[in-house]
Structure 1
Amino acid sequence: MFHVNSEVGALKQVVLHEPGLDFERLTPANKDELLFDDVVWVARAQEEHRAFQALLRERGVTVHLLHDLLAETVKLDEAVDFLFDRVLDDRQPHLGAGLAAATRTVLAAMGPHELATHLLGGLNKRELTTALGERHPPLRSLGLDLLADDDFILPPLPNSLFTRDTSCWVYDGVSVNPMAKAGRKAETVNYEAVYTYHPMFAEARAHRWIDGEAMAPAAIEGGDVEVIGNGAVLVGLGERTTPAGVEILARRMFRAGSARRVIAVELPKARALMHLDTVLTMVDTDAFALFSGLDPRALRSWTLTPGTGDAPEVRENPDFFSAVGAALELDSVRVLQTSQDSYAAQREQWNDGCNLLALAPGTVVAYEVNEAGNRMLEDHGIEVLRIRGDQLGRGRGGPRCMSCPVERDAA
């Protein structure tokens, strides 16, 4: 049932996360730790996101919201135990046995909707002690005593907005990714629970290419993974994804016969270029939008194919886009770049000008702020569906980052 066979084929089903309590807990003091560049006007962010949802539904895409999936998952006792054993491990530096046990008691008393809200939005000391109330003896815990009332026992996870990163479907399997940054690691546990226990996914019995934190410290993030079709996958090697992560993904897909080659491309290690899809996305069966600040001839890349043993064969490519064309069995591919000065290029890159979600061949969703890039795409025959992202983009992610396709046809 679930499969993603291309980057640009007809999009059928997708997982999104609408901002909620997690966004309400972003502050000037914690935004850097939580990987946001600024605090967010939450009501406007929700308005922008609902417009994004509506656009997808109008185009025939089934939208699953992460909060709803998680709330349905935690109706199962085994899913709750799975989550609590990981997020409330008493070996975590800020917990300890007493605080972990008390937090488990409070969370276990919540209904599914409220529990999902706090797994995504966090739980602070005041909420814990209020919930414990007079029905429990006073809790004495080093971890608790060291916390101020507004300090978090469970941190909020506002980067859950970017559903593509934490899990990504690649052909007939899903990669539940170990995240590179501390502020995102707990997201992985939520997805592991959903894909393992939610009936919709549990019954699908899809391949599990990457099994969450079991792969750490190797890392791979979905924003670096692009399923270009014809058995080929692009993976970016930049700030977040490691060579070991690429090889593990390739090896497991090759072993199952689900992919024939993986092309790894080196990226500058910079926050503005944190993932492959911040600089390069596929917009048609033969076309890619590339950040104008990158020289397409200078991109260093390697092709991985099945080897004679367990390790893949690795070969450096003389030219990246020639390797991509060969993988797609095309004579060449179109590389679309906006003509603009370096100042405009940097602004558009910061606003996710190349982070485009294809709904079908030649039809993409883009932030409206990227005027020059959107006009350039239209000049090359690409239909651009514009959405607002003034608030949503403050975590450095665009329409592709905010969407995790779970069903997409071949192009």
Structure 2
Amino acid sequence: MGFQVDSEVGALRQVIVHRPGLELTRLTPDNVNELLFDDVMWADRAREEHDAFVGQLRERDVTVHYFHDLLATALDAPGARQFLWERLTTATRFGPGLDRPLERLVGQTPADTLSSLLVGGVLKRDVMPFIRTPSLLMESLELDDFLVPPLPNHLYQRDNSAWIYRALSINPMAMAARTRETVNSQVVYNFHPMFADAGLDIVYGNDSLMHEPATVEGGDVLVIGNGVIMVGMGQRTSPQGIETLTRLLFAGGYVRQVIVVELPKARAFMHLDTAMTMVDRDAFSVYPYLPEALRSFTLTPRGDEGDYDIEEHTDLFAEVAEALGLDKVRVLRTPIDRAGAQREQWDDGNNYLAVSPGVVLGYERNTIANQFLADEGIEVVPVVGSELGRGRGGPRCMSCPIERDAVTA
């Protein structure tokens, strides 16, 4: 089949993950909030948990690609470093005194080390060996101050790119702390031989333009199957982003319908997959106290230029069932009091990653939700995530499927 994602729950074949690296050791109490984490992680334990998570995927015949390795290989391809340099370093970003030193850093650093720095951040001391000209910015910094901040949210590979059937969006991110993730993914998809020779259909974000406020993040995109996607509209994915992406998808014939779900604009609902994920052919795990009257819209194509019609509807899951050709879908809301539901949702209690229909990976700590799904016939593979979950992302967040089968009856 090649690189294509045809569902949320069909057999998962290939996935990209990022094993926590240098960036977690550079999380501190001073920078943790601006880097969108809630606490300083125990990096070694997080790596152990991630290794176990990868092992669980491989046990189910999923081919796992590490983002660090993909990026390092891509950086050695002809033209990759110039591409990176043009997007990462400008005189206005760092001042003219650092323009040339940073170009030398990008051009001369071994690929494996550079891959670590692009995610882990670049300190003043990293650039010092390349300095030949005066720089006021450098004079103002301490040796361990960042020129380029770390990207700890690369752990959550779901967001910076999204495969939608045979189309790929390299997503313009909403938060400043994550925008450089898009640049790193552009390097991978444009220059790694596995992708560069595959004739990818990259429909959005593969440029150096400023797309804000038309932002899209992959945690808001659910490929539910049958040519349909659900997209969350909230804190991270804007109406402008949804409309831009929808127009491109319709014009290319990649999807036949887009169902938009309006989310509460709160950190606990930062993405659609914090509120609901698909766990079987006909079933969604849904946060129990998600408002029943959630607004939703259906976008359908009009003509072949990408134009579309918009219809608001009052019953989201009736619309989903119709789109999937089902009489109804099972909406699995864990029977739990509001405080318990909030605790489990904060620990990604609805952020399940399906590896096949009715078989999902979820954090073990969400015992009530996991048992409820088990009682409903869903096999939950428990994932240890006491450290991994501190960045507010579960197994679905940590994975970017690049090949997944369609669901058959």
Fold-level similarity (TM above 0.5): yes
Specify the alignment match of 2:12 in structure 1.
11
Identical residues among aligned pairs (%): 52
Describe the SS at the equivalent of 2:311: strand
Unpaired runs of 5+ residues, structure 2, are none
1:214 deviates by 3.1
User: What is the rounded CA distance, in whole Å, between the counterparts of 2:80 and 2:143 in structure 1?
Assistant: 29
1:254-275: CA deviations, max 9, x gaps?
Answer: 1111110000000000011100
Describe the SS at the equivalent of 1:128: helix
1:217-262: CA deviations, max 9, x gaps?
Answer: 1100000000000000000001000111111111111111111000
Unpaired runs of 5+ residues, structure 1, are none
The answer to whether the aligner puts 1:298 opposite 2:293 as a matched pair is: yes
User: What is the rounded CA distance, in whole Å, between the counterparts of 1:144 and 1:227 in structure 2?
Assistant: 46
* TM-score, structure 1 normalization: 0.96
User: What is the rounded CA distance, in whole Å, between the counterparts of 2:104 and 2:200 in structure 1?
Assistant: 34
User: Is the 1:247–1:312 contact (alpha carbons within 8 Å) kept by the matching residues of 2?
Assistant: no
User: Is the 2:250–2:306 contact (alpha carbons within 8 Å) kept by the matching residues of 1?
Assistant: no
Counterpart selection for 1:197 from 184, 191, 195: 191
The answer to whether the aligner puts 1:153 opposite 2:147 as a matched pair is: yes
Q: Which amino acid aligns with 2:198?
A: A
1:273-312: CA deviations, max 9, x gaps?
Answer: 10000010000000000001213x3111000010245431
Specify the alignment match of 1:274 in structure 2.
270
Describe the SS at the equivalent of 1:359: strand
1:302-352: CA deviations, max 9, x gaps?
Answer: 000102454311111121111100100111000001111111111001000
The answer to whether the aligner puts 1:208 opposite 2:207 as a matched pair is: no
Counterpart selection for 1:364 from 360, 367, 379: 360
1:190-238: CA deviations, max 9, x gaps?
Answer: 0011111111111111211212453611100000000000000000001
User: Is the 2:23–2:150 contact (alpha carbons within 8 Å) kept by the matching residues of 1?
Assistant: yes
Describe the SS at the equivalent of 1:298: coil
User: What is the rounded CA distance, in whole Å, between the counterparts of 2:391 and 2:252 in structure 1?
Assistant: 35
User: What is the rounded CA distance, in whole Å, between the counterparts of 1:278 and 1:64 in structure 2?
Assistant: 24
Describe the SS at the equivalent of 1:390: coil
Matching of residues 119-158 of structure 1 within 5 Å: 119-129=118-128, 131-132=129-130, 137=132, 139-158=133-152
1:160-214: CA deviations, max 9, x gaps?
Answer: 0010100010000111000000000000000011111111111111211212453
User: Is the 2:249–2:306 contact (alpha carbons within 8 Å) kept by the matching residues of 1?
Assistant: no
1:1-25: CA deviations, max 9, x gaps?
Answer: 1000000000000000000001110
User: What is the rounded CA distance, in whole Å, between the counterparts of 2:31 and 2:239 in structure 1?
Assistant: 30
User: What is the rounded CA distance, in whole Å, between the counterparts of 2:40 and 2:241 in structure 1?
Assistant: 32
Q: Which amino acid aligns with 1:54?
A: G
The answer to whether the aligner puts 1:46 opposite 2:47 as a matched pair is: yes
Q: Which amino acid aligns with 1:121?
A: G
The answer to whether the aligner puts 1:64 opposite 2:60 as a matched pair is: no
User: What is the rounded CA distance, in whole Å, between the counterparts of 2:204 and 2:294 in structure 1?
Assistant: 27
User: Is the 2:11–2:404 contact (alpha carbons within 8 Å) kept by the matching residues of 1?
Assistant: yes
User: Is the 2:122–2:147 contact (alpha carbons within 8 Å) kept by the matching residues of 1?
Assistant: yes
RMSD: 1.1
Counterpart selection for 2:227 from 226, 231, 242: 231
Q: Which amino acid aligns with 1:155?
A: P
User: What is the rounded CA distance, in whole Å, between the counterparts of 1:175 and 1:238 in structure 2?
Assistant: 18
1:157 deviates by 0.6
Q: Which amino acid aligns with 2:158?
A: R
User: What is the rounded CA distance, in whole Å, between the counterparts of 2:137 and 2:181 in structure 1?
Assistant: 22
User: What is the rounded CA distance, in whole Å, between the counterparts of 1:335 and 1:112 in structure 2?
Assistant: 47
User: What is the rounded CA distance, in whole Å, between the counterparts of 2:48 and 2:372 in structure 1?
Assistant: 27
1:66 deviates by 0.3
Q: Which amino acid aligns with 1:334?
A: R
User: Is the 1:236–1:266 contact (alpha carbons within 8 Å) kept by the matching residues of 2?
Assistant: yes
Q: Which amino acid aligns with 2:175?
A: K
Describe the SS at the equivalent of 1:31: coil
User: Is the 1:163–1:403 contact (alpha carbons within 8 Å) kept by the matching residues of 2?
Assistant: yes
Describe the SS at the equivalent of 1:100: helix
User: What is the rounded CA distance, in whole Å, between the counterparts of 2:360 and 2:210 in structure 1?
Assistant: 33
The answer to whether the aligner puts 1:345 opposite 2:346 as a matched pair is: no
Matching of residues 254-265 of structure 1 within 5 Å: 254-265=250-261
User: What is the rounded CA distance, in whole Å, between the counterparts of 1:148 and 1:28 in structure 2?
Assistant: 18
